[in-house]
A and B are shown apart, each in its own frame.
Chain A
Amino acid sequence: SQQGEEDPQALSIQEGENATMNCSYKTSINNLQWYRQNSGRGLVHLILIRSNEREKHSGRLRVTLDTSKKSSSLLITASRAADTASYFCATGKTSGSRLTFGEGTQLTVNP
């Protein structure tokens, strides 16, 4: 299985609810990043958390990282219909410059 696996594969919620997506990985990392992709578009970087950080916030986004469990979560609070998109985690290894992406979570926020 791949480095960076998201869970769940698909999530459907109502506007105003919170959305939580999880990511697991297998090897040591330097950083973990979350990206968003609207249908048919490129990815947009949301947030980067380094291996020595445990939690990071950006607006309505909260990311946690647990290196002992090799897992991360992305929480979107007070979701909006415009948050409907696919969300990907990507891991950067300790050495090297490449990222490894997971297969993504498709989030649908119903108005």
Chain B
Amino acid sequence: DGGITQSPKYLFRKEGQNVTLSCEQNLNHDAMYWYRQDPGQGLRLIYYSQIVNDFQKGDIAEGYSVSREKKESFPLTVTSAQKNPTAFYLCASSENGRQPQHFGDGTRLSIL
């Protein structure tokens, strides 16, 4: 079955540490997205990529970095510069920017 796989499901970060969240899709979608969701809140866009080797900042990109070296993969690194990283992170993909987005089941990041 086609879909989006996020790993790990739970992740813990120590102070000063960078951590990388994985997102893989086998839907052959061009566009991929990373969102952050805080408790009881909507989704805020961190980064998005419309094509391989290209990506744009979203509304809350500070403290995060991404890469898009392969069509299937869009990893997100939460750097030590992100002072409040505790949140639920969701990855999504779409055929193109005008089509519905398909979501993974998220990674919950906490601070040790």
Residues of A within 8 A of B (CB): 2, 4, 30-31, 33, 40-45, 48, 88, 92, 96-104
Contact = CB atoms under 8 A, between A and B. Distances in A.
B105 A42 contact: yes
A92 B45 CA distance: 13
Q: How large is the interface on B (under 10, 10 to 19, 20 to 34, 35 or more residues)?
A: 20 to 34
Given A97-B50, A98-B33, A98-B48, A45 B43 contact: no
B102 interface: yes
Nearest to A45: B100
B-side binding surface: helix, strand, loop or mixed? strand
Contact of B90 (A4, A31, A43, A104): A43
6 contacts: A42-B6, A42-B90, A42-B92, A92-B97, A100-B45, A103-B42
A21 to B, nearest CB: 13
Contacts of A2: 42
A31 B98 contact: yes
Given A42-B92, A42-B106, A103-B41, 4 more contacts: A42-B105, A96-B97, A101-B35, A101-B42
